[in-house]
Amino acid sequence: MSSPRRSGSRGTGGGNRSSAESRRRSSSCAHLPSGGQTEDFSVSLSQPMVSITLRFLLAIDLWLSKRLGVCACEGSPWGGIRPLVRLVELSGHVVPWLVGSVYSLLRGGSAAEQEVMLNLALALLLDLVLVRFVKTLVRRRRPAQSRPDVLSSLWGERYSFPSGHATRAAMCARFLLAQLADGGSLRGLVVGWAALVGLSRLLLARHYVTDVGVGLAMGYCQYELVERLWVTWGCAQDVLLTPLGERLRRAYGGLWVSDWKL
């Protein structure tokens, strides 16, 4: 009496297992159309070579950017040097550069020095406009591990491509090399600073590798536009500074003291 029940139970269990396996097979196949693997393979082959290459390069960009973000936070592998890297990052921000150039312009000096500082300030403004235009056009989000800093939050930087620090560093490096840097050692320091600013954006996971690479190339080319639009000190006096100084004197009287050589 007992043996038939055991055999019956085994038969029932085997039937349940076989029916469960058949249901799993049927359910898994229900999501895949007939010839699904062949269709996916044919679609991948039908894609243009340019699209396949771009996807491959994008995958490398994402992988390499993630590997380089070793200072993204305090708990990162190189989190101990994060304050130093942030200091290098700050040296490429637009605020100290713009404030310094305007201060040097208002402080006075020779006409040649004021002309250089004026064009540096205009170059920084041009960089801001061009970078913001490209960022708004592309709308690439920043890396997921990026931690926004105070200046970026106040400046309203949401997009990643291209890196404004990289464009600014490359443009200012070319500007300094062309206008101020004379010695070979000083030139090496300027080029090394621009490279470190771009690298700091990668170590802090602020940007992708392509953002920094395109930013450096864009800033390098921007200086060509700055040279073509170079404003002489005499032209600046006639067009901008003299009318502005007269309006300020009329508005503020003796309170306005200008150090410009008008």
Domain limits of the chain?
67-231
Confidence (pLDDT) at 249:
64
pTM assigned to the model? 0.71
Q: Which region among 66-80, 106-120, 179-193, 234-248 has the lowest average model confidence (pLDDT)?
A: 234-248
- Determine contact, residues 135/167, Cβ cutoff 8 Å: no
**Which of the four pLDDT bands, split at 50, 70 and 90, describes residue 239?**
low
Q: Which region among 77-81, 86-90, 191-195 has the lowest average model confidence (pLDDT)?
A: 77-81
**Which of the four pLDDT bands, split at 50, 70 and 90, describes residue 244?**
low
Average pLDDT over the chain, rounded to whole? Answer: 77
Q: Which region among 15-19, 38-42, 68-72 has the lowest average model confidence (pLDDT)?
A: 38-42
Whole-angstrom distance, CA of residue 79 vs CA of residue 23: 52
In percent, the amount of the chain with pLDDT more than 90 equals 43
CA angle 142/60/86 to nearest 5° reads 40
Which residues, in sequence order, are CB contacts of 207 under 8 Å at separation 6+?
Answer: 65, 142, 143, 160, 161, 163, 166, 201, 215
- Determine contact, residues 119/222, Cβ cutoff 8 Å: no
- Determine contact, residues 151/95, Cβ cutoff 8 Å: yes
DSSP alpha helices (H): ranges in 108-205?
111-138, 150-155, 164-179, 184-203
Whole-angstrom distance, CA of residue 203 vs CA of residue 31: 43
Residues carrying an active site annotation: 165, 207
* pLDDT of 42 above 80: no
Whole-angstrom distance, CA of residue 101 vs CA of residue 105: 6
Whole-angstrom distance, CA of residue 43 vs CA of residue 29: 20
